[in-house]
Amino acid sequence: MIEVAEKKRNYSIAIVFLTMFLLTGLNIVYTTTAVNKNAHVWCDLVAPLDDQYKATPPPTTNGKAFAKGMHKVRQQYNCK
């Protein structure tokens, strides 16, 4: 009787750990997909602005700082 109870306990522990590993893996996949999708959305906005600021640099100090920030964001997201 004790052996059966011990086996059930061992199976229960194994199932709990397998479930934890499965949920952790699914969470990593979901998060990676969401981050990549978010980066793609930002690239659609940042790349044209950076291209425009390269073609026609802003004349003001604030404009130059903004253009520099756009270029930095473009590099961080590896936008083309």
Q: How far is CA 73 from the centre of its chain?
A: 15
Q: What is the pLDDT of residue 29?
A: 95
d(CA 49, CA 47): 5
* Residue pLDDT, tens place only, 34-58: 887 877 788 888 999 999 999 999 9
42/14: higher pLDDT: 14
Helices and strands (H, E) in the chain, number of each type: 2, 0
For the chain, what percentages of helix, strand and coil (3-state, to nearest 5) are there? 90, 0, 10
Determine if the pTM surpasses 0.85: no
Distances in Å between the alpha carbon of 37 and those of 30, 75, 77? 11, 16, 11
